[in-house]
Structure 1
Amino acid sequence: MERREPRVLIAYGTTNGSTAEIAERIGDVLSKEGCVTTVRSADAAWRSVAEYDAVILGGALYMGRWHRDARRFARRARRELTARPVWLFSSGPLDPSASDRDIAPVPGVRRIAARIDARGHATFGGRLDQNARGRMARMLVNSGKGGDFRDFEHISAWARQVADEIGTAPEGPAGA
């Protein structure tokens, strides 16, 4: 029996683009590890989950809540997500804490993870710069709390770990 490359959807919810860049890095790493990847905004991707063997869903954190598009994706695609391996990630802390230690998912993401039986979750540092949209975001930047706290080595290491798990997971619905 011939083994084919697993197809992985990396979907994300973002406002200022930082989480999209994290998703792109995850997609690059998985591609190098032998997966066929598609990176797409959660708003545009929820209808196509059935085409993939595994899904990685990420969302930016704003005031302790996951981005609306990521929450909607999880709700709309719940049936398809429970039928395949899923990993979640959050981006948001505007400090180096996410690189220093594991940060548990916020309560809403923890509930989503339980509903879809996610295999794992990681929190990565966020980015907030002077081009950020929204009054609150601009206030944070103007008060000196902005910056780029994403650790792409940490993100890449997590993505390689997920790729290893995908490689050993039984073939999902898309290959059936």
Structure 2
Amino acid sequence: MKQITRRQFVAKSSMVATGLIGAGAIGFGVISPRSVFADDVKFIESSCESRGRKILVAYESYCGSTSKVAQGIADVFCKQGAKVDLKHIENVIDISSYDGVVIGSAVKSASWYPSAISFVKKNQNQLKQIPVIYFLTCLALYYDTEEANQTAKNYFNGVLNEVPEVKPREMQAFAGVLDYSKLNMMFKIVMKSKMKKKGIPEGDFRDFEKIQSWALKTAWPRLATS
């Protein structure tokens, strides 16, 4: 397994925070952009060899929590006999050799992260020809309510509207992580205020049993057929 480390720099002034808040970049289900990270963030990449179907699991992550969700999904596919590449989305160069692709992202401004949408747009001609599945992680699903589930579902609208030609066979949202240690002091204060109003505490809300059950019972059958 390979881990990629990229140092994130502290935002230069409080004007950045003010501008992002005004633009709605921080809010319900939204984690702050990379420029406000306090620490290095590790993005997981791995591969498993097999003679089965070749699957790509590509993801965009802010603080690294979405990468572990992607890893959990990839592990299930490996156990089903697939040849799986797990990659941070910026390191995917060519998808032409894959029989299916799973694309996941954290949420920013009530949508997939822009680089994830750009990835779909860039590769849409090939993605239209193979099974594709979308997933996301968000804090909205801290609450297990119909309203929260609808909010999370709406976060897919950005990629669906921008690249309607690609029609995923399945879409799934998962609860994410709120970890203030990943943010610099300025944004930590902002996020604490926002999350307090929403009633969302700091914590890891990922349910890996649910994630892997979905990967096995729902995602894999949709990838296993052309």
CA distance in 2 between partners of 1:73 and 1:7 (Å): 19
User: Residue 180 of structure 2 aligns to a residue in which SS?
Assistant: coil
Distance 1:120 1:114, change over 3 A: farther
Q: What is the match of residue 139 of structure 1? A: 190
Q: What is the match of residue 25 of structure 1? A: 72
Unaligned runs of 5+ in 2: 1-50
User: Residue 115 of structure 1 aligns to a residue in which SS?
Assistant: coil
Q: Larger Cα Rg: Structure 1 or Structure 2?
A: 2
Superposed CA RMSD in Å reads: 2.3
Q: Does 1:116 align with 2:163?
A: no
Q: What is the match of residue 156 of structure 1? A: 212
Aligned partner letter, 1:104: K
Give the superposition deviation at 1:117.
Answer: 1.2
TM-score after normalising by structure 1: 0.82
More deviation, 143-152/4-13: 143-152
Residues matched between the structures, number: 165
Q: Does 1:92 align with 2:149?
A: no
Residue by residue, what CA displacement relative to the aligned partner does 1:126-167 show, whole Å, maximum 9, x if unpaired?
Answer: 112022236546532465533211111111111112112222
Give the superposition deviation at 1:39.
Answer: 0.5
Unaligned runs of 5+ in 1: 171-176
Residue pair 2:124, 2:163 contacting (<8 A) in 1 also = no
Q: What is the match of residue 86 of structure 2? A: 39
Specify which of 67, 71, 84 is matched with residue 117 of structure 2. 71
Residue pair 2:120, 2:163 contacting (<8 A) in 1 also = no
User: Residue 181 of structure 2 aligns to a residue in which SS?
Assistant: coil
Distance 1:38 1:112, change over 3 A: farther
User: Residue 106 of structure 2 aligns to a residue in which SS?
Assistant: strand
Q: What is the match of residue 105 of structure 2? A: 59
Residue pair 2:142, 2:205 contacting (<8 A) in 1 also = yes
TM-score after normalising by structure 2: 0.65
